[in-house]
Amino acid sequence: MKGGWRSRGPARAMCAGTALLRIRSRLTARSIGLAVGLIAGAAGLLMQPLVPLAAAAPANPPAQSGSIGLEGTISTKPPTSGATIAIPGGGTVTSIPITVSGLCPNGLLVKIFDNNVFVGSTVCSGGSYTLQVDLFGGQNDLVARVYDALDQAGPDSNKVTVTFNDAQFLQLGTLLTLTSPYAERGAPPGAQLTWPVVLDGGTGPYAINIDWGDGTAADLMSASTAGTVTLKHVYKTAGLYKVVVKATDKNGAEAFLQLVGQATGAVQNNKTGSNTLVQNETPIWPFAVLVPLILVSFWLGGRHRLWALQREYE
């Protein structure tokens, strides 16, 4: 009987070793499969476009029969830091448009208001902004205000007062102005973007020139009378673009309006448009850091599991 128990020792050891080898191979295959799956999922997340959340959200998805749609907005605090106006410093000017520039929180939309009327917008880049705006005849109180992706306003900038002595206005008696209810407007690449602008004053007919900032030829259109004019354009590449609208009446009076156009989607490096405000590419460094961490964690987990099984068979 003792010899029988002794003869089972090597056989039992061989069976345990074979079992451990099978377990090790299964753990290795399973770990590799899980690691590959996690790496692929992480790569998919990292390759998502770096655009504002509001821009990436689908617009009006088709309703399905018997479905209930829910819509909500994640509330956040409005910006706590505002923009500043460094240029101009005030005084009197005799020609328009003028350049307005200053400091601002990076990535936010900057709107310029003249006597509480919206006159232009741009995106803060690198902690500063610059754009050109029109002025009204006489006194102009300029204020810059920043907005986040939820259109929440930050604090007002310092107020700068500029006086515009418009000799043409004094001669003709009618000032031509351009404004819009939208400082920023967007559509997916390949889809038509429509943008209403309001033309006021001057004497018709009017010629309107629109530079969409994507390197395409400027659009030319005409309007017989003042009022709302709808601009239309199709962006081919995703990004943020500086849109410049100029209007001229029959007497040569001019109006100017700078806006921010957005083609939603994956933002690419588009070098054709000289007025492209954002040209982003997906960073690779998070993927390069994440892959080794995933592989090391699965290797350590497999080693620990194998060690625990070996302890059970000993």
pLDDT tens digits, one per residue of 63-116: 455 545 555 556 789 999 999 999 999 999 998 899 999 999 999 999 999 999
Please, are residues 110 and 121 in contact by the beta-carbon 8 Å criterion?
yes
Query: What are the tens digits of pLDDT across the range 13-71?
Result: 555 555 555 555 555 555 555 555 555 555 554 444 433 433 333 434 444 555 455 55
Distance CA 156, CA 151 (A): 14
pLDDT at 70: 52
Which of 291, 224, 247 shows the shortest CA–CA distance to 37?
291
Give pLDDT tens digits for 221-269.
Answer: 999 999 999 999 999 999 999 999 999 999 888 999 999 999 986 444 3
DSSP 253-277: -EEEEEEEEEE-SS-----S-TTEE
| pLDDT score recorded for residue 47 | 45
Q: Are 181 and 196 in contact (CB under 8 A)?
A: yes
Q: What is the pTM of this model?
A: 0.64
- What is the share, in percent, of the chain residues with pLDDT greater than 90? 52
C-alpha torsion sign, points 230, 247, 144, 138: negative
pLDDT tens digits for range 262-296? 998 644 433 334 455 654 444 444 555 555 666 66
Cis amide linkage into residue 205, ω under 30° from 0: yes
CA distance 296 to 275: 45
Is residue 126 over pLDDT 90?
yes
